[in-house]
């Protein structure tokens, strides 16, 4: 890469995006599907957030810091603020995928009430969840937010994002140029674990590459 090309590459907003899943909630502990139900962190989740986000702050100091508007994400983001003094920007586009009438139900309940549909969903196939946000739509929503905030990050900087399990995996899939409804290679991350996207070199496709996933 020439010096001019290298300079241009550094002048395109964020060079890294760090995507963090929120801490544990009692829905997580009970194996319930949260979706866009607004649940607070439980005691274990608050401890996870305090420890995990302090550790993240030692590795990555955000040039731009963004969080989902849902309470569990904002509480997790608050732990990063406590460690760094950096206040988050709240963006509702980063909220979890909506799961319609399945929200609030446990895996056991879903298996009993919707045995065929739940089996298809567990196998990674599309399932007619009543009122659910299509996976491709959720992926596009998350990716749009990531690209917008990456473009507004200082050139060559770090964008830190707090979001949700299904939202992060779908959004990353879109950022990698893959169709979220067809490619299910990424599962949901553990609580207060993170993924890293790094901007590709000029003329490389896709624009972003995944260099870490489900780490802490």
Per residue in 142-198, pLDDT (tens digit) is 999 999 999 999 999 999 999 999 999 999 999 999 988 778 788 889 999 999 999
Selecting among 47, 96, 116, 144, the annotated active-site residue is 96
CA angle 44, 210, 216 (to 5 degrees): 25
Instruction: Label residue 4 by pLDDT band (50, 70, 90).
Output: very low
At 9 the pLDDT is 46
The pLDDT of residue 131 is 79
Q: Respond yes or no: is residue 96 known to be catalytic.
A: yes
The predicted structure's pLDDT at residue 2: 47
Secondary structure letter of residue 22 according to DSSP: -
pTM of the predicted structure, to 2 decimals: 0.92
What is the H or E stretch that residue 16 is in?
strand 16-21
Q: What are the boundaries of each domain within the chain?
A: 11-98+134-215, 100-132
More confident residue, 101 or 24: 24
- What is the overall mean pLDDT for the chain? 92
Q: Specify the fold of 11-98+134-215.
A: Rossmann fold (3.40.50)
216 annotated to bind ligand: no
Please give the Cα distance from 152 to 146 (Å, whole number).
10
Comparing 57 with 6, the larger pLDDT belongs to 57
**Could you tell me the CA-to-CA distances from 177 to 1, 23, 143, 208, 209 in Å, in that order?**
24, 28, 10, 9, 10
pLDDT for residue 122 is more than 60: yes
Question: Is 81 among the annotated ligand-binding positions?
Answer: no
Concerning whether 11 is annotated as a catalytic residue, the answer is: no
């Amino acid at each position: 890469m020439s010096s001019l090309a290298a300079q241009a590459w550094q002048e395109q907003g964020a060079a890294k995006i760090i995507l963090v899943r929120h801490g544990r909630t009692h829905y997580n502990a009970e194996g319930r599907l949260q979706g866009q139900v607004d649940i607070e962190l439980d005691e274990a989740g608050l401890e996870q957030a305090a420890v995990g986000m302090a550790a993240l702050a030692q590795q990555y100091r955000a040039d731009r810091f963004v969080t989902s508007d849902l309470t569990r994400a904002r509480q997790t983001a608050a732990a990063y603020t406590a460690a760094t003094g950096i206040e988050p920007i709240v963006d509702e586009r980063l909220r979890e995928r909506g799961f319609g009438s399945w929200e609030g139900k446990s895996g056991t309940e879903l298996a009993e009430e919707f045995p065929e549909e739940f089996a298809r969903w567990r196998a990674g196939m599309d399932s007619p969840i009543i009122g659910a946000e299509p996976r491709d739509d959720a992926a596009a929503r998350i990716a749009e937010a990531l690209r917008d905030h990456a473009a507004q990050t200082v050139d060559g900087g770090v964008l830190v994002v707090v979001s949700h399990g299904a939202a992060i995996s779908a959004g990353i899939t879109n950022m990698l140029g893959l169709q979220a409804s067809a490619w299910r290679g990424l599962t949901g991350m553990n609580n207060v674990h993170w993924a890293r996207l790094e901007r590709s070199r000029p003329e490389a496709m896709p624009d972003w590459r995944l260099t870490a996933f489900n780490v802490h």
